Structure 1
Amino acid sequence: MKHAKRSGWRPFWAALCAALLVLLPLVGGTVLLSRAQLRSSLRQAAKSQSGVPIRLPKATDRCTVLLCVADETPGFVLAYLNAGQNCIHLLAVPAALEVPFGGKNVPLSDCYAAAGPARCREALGEVFALPEDTDYLAIAPAVLTKLAARYGAVRVGFTGALTPEQLARYGKGTGVQGISAADAHSFLAALDADTSLSPRRSAAARAAVWDAFFRQALELLPTTLPQGLREVSSSLLTSLTAVDLATLERTLEFLATSAEPVDITADALPGEWAGGHYTVSDASRAAVQSFFNLSPAAAQSASGSEP
């Protein structure tokens, strides 16, 4: 009897083992698949939380700002950011550029000293086809240095702006070099004060610094730059509102996470330099047209009221 009982258990154990051999791989595969799906969901959630855009940019995801570094000789940079065009364009405007003010033409720096950044924006709008919603932002060098310090030194080359002899005069080499925000400001201020340089050369050096900054810090800018401006808002002269800062944040977010390479360009505004006067020329207008990616017909229409 005992032998018969043991013999009866053998088919049961054989069937159980066979079932386990079939079920275990299926269960294991299901668990692995579930984990993979969970990881994928977590990655998608992390991307959404980190600002990866899940929509196409709106027409309003763009901004134009006249940046003014409020120094003894102020520095000017037009910044144009457009998510739809996937671009960041920077145009350094020489402080010596003559613009209409008080019934005559005066250097942009004099316009700033007499009436501030809002009047500078207005004056530039009288000679160039600037968008009506162009904002202005004037910032003191110490505040700018504090904001930029969080990003560390930028690596920049100045050979496109200055000759080797000019660079040597300021202790700069011809290669790419790291420069802090404070050192960059001191260097650019010294160039602005150097009457032996054409205004376009010093502006080109300024453009090179801002170009390097946007290229090297772009991934960090969507939250840190708008938030940094909010933190120092009481020390700024600006037309940027809370809505404008939100637009800036959204535009930077789209550009920083774009699947396509962002078109980042930086240049100095050309002009006529003669007799100590830097004046608007056809090349100046063409540069602004290119800056905003305008067609010649659109630029002509927008600038119909220009002097």
Structure 2
Amino acid sequence: MKEKGWRPFWAALLAALLVLLPLVGGTVLLTRRSLRTRLASRPQSGVAIRQPKEENRLSLLVCIAPTETTAPGFLLLYLNASQNCIHALALPGELTVPFGADEASLADCYRAAGPARCREALLSALSLPEDTHYLALAPSVLQAIADRYGMLRVGFSGALTAEELALTGCSSNVQAVSAREAEELLNGMEDTVPPAHKAAARAAVWDAFFRQELELLPAALPDALRAHSSSLLTDLTAQDLLILDDTLEFLADRSAAIHTEALPGGWDGEHYTLTDDSHAAVQTLFNVSPTEAQLSSASEP
């Protein structure tokens, strides 16, 4: 009788366990999954955030090569991820630079000896960093690269006077232009507006290029340069392009501060010469304070 009495008990216990164990197990699994989700979504202060390195900067002389009917164009470009800045300085082609035992305009220096010689001349004339690179590309190549970003919205009213706007066919309002149209407008300013104003107009075009599609540059610009490498004149290496990739990513992610202007100087109708304002503009380009520049100058032999 005692043995028969225990059988219903074990049967009931077994049935209860068959029902409860899946419920308890499911509850445990759901609880652990919910806990993992909350932990994953919580900020992890102990995880290091990738920071720019000293190498994430680039000083570059960009040259737009001349054609049979157009003059060369020049731009000094400085990218620095640690300082979160994109600075550009448009240089007039009429700028007087050292050339051999004499002097020549920057444009004539390019026509005679190419972009590498222009870089060497500017190293001494403007005290550029020794690691400044050069990049020269034809207008057609520049247009092919820039056209990937669509029309540029450019305002020339800050660069040109009302009379100069009328002479060059530029609008006093912000206007949408393609890279080809922008280059045609700039070429139309040759012998029409003073060198400083033409350089300021070129700076306005580059400013629009960087501001309008900054987020696209990391993914597209270095690849575009690689795609057109056979038609470029440059001392940028494959490693330099990788650094450019990384630097542009930092600058785009952090909405970098963008500053563009034209190199100020003295113009006598034939020669464009450097002044104190010229050197101050170069210091601004590289984020060098006047005090630092004076100390550097004083330490030179």
> Aligning the two structures, in what range does the TM-score lie when normalised by the shorter sequence?
0.7 to 0.9
Larger gyration radius, structure 1 or structure 2: 2
CA contact (8 A) 1:164 1:173 kept: no
Aligned Cα root-mean-square deviation (Å): 3.2
Q: Does 1:266 align with 2:254?
A: no
Q: Give the partner amino acid of 2:257.
A: D
More deviation, 206-215/291-300 = 291-300
Among residues 22, 40, 62, which one is paired with 1:67 in the alignment? 62
Q: Give the partner amino acid of 1:149.
A: D
d(CA) in 2 for partners of 1:223 and 1:78? 22
CA contact (8 A) 2:170 2:185 kept: no
CA contact (8 A) 1:67 1:77 kept: yes
Q: In structure 2, what is the equivalent of residue 169 of structure 1?
A: 167
Q: Does 1:92 align with 2:90?
A: yes
CA deviations over 1:132-163 (Å, ceiling 9, x no partner) = 00000000001111111111111111111012
Among residues 271, 285, 293, which one is paired with 1:291 in the alignment? 285
Change over 3 Å in CA distance of 1:238–1:65 after alignment to 2: same
How far the C-alpha of 1:177 sits from its partner, in A, is: 1.6
2:50 match: secondary structure: coil
Among residues 240, 247, 251, which one is paired with 2:243 in the alignment? 247
Q: Give the partner amino acid of 2:282.
A: V
The higher relative CO (CA closer than 8 Å, separation ≥ 6) is in 1
Matched ranges for 1:73-88 at <5 A: 73-88=71-86
Q: In structure 1, what is the equivalent of residue 4 of structure 2?
A: none
CA contact (8 A) 2:56 2:82 kept: yes
Matched ranges for 1:109-124 at <5 A: 109-124=107-122
TM-score (norm 1): 0.82
CA contact (8 A) 1:86 1:255 kept: yes
d(CA) in 2 for partners of 1:211 and 1:185? 14
CA contact (8 A) 1:66 1:76 kept: yes
CA contact (8 A) 2:266 2:274 kept: yes
2:149 match: secondary structure: coil
CA deviations over 1:100-158 (Å, ceiling 9, x no partner) = 11322221100100011011111111111200000000000011111111111111111
How far the C-alpha of 1:175 sits from its partner, in A, is: 1.6
Q: Which consecutive unaligned segments of at least 5 residues does structure 1 have?
A: 45-52
How far the C-alpha of 1:263 sits from its partner, in A, is: 1.4
How far the C-alpha of 1:96 sits from its partner, in A, is: 0.6
CA deviations over 1:41-99 (Å, ceiling 9, x no partner) = 9xx9xxxxxxxx94221111100000000023100000000011111000000001111
Q: In structure 2, what is the equivalent of residue 225 of structure 1?
A: 221
- What is the aligned-residue identity percentage? 54
Q: Give the partner amino acid of 1:290.
A: T
Q: In structure 2, what is the equivalent of residue 108 of structure 1?
A: 106
TM-score (norm 2): 0.84
Report the count of equivalent residues: 286
Change over 3 Å in CA distance of 1:105–1:302 after alignment to 2: farther
How far the C-alpha of 1:276 sits from its partner, in A, is: 2.2
Q: Which consecutive unaligned segments of at least 5 residues does structure 2 have?
A: 1-7
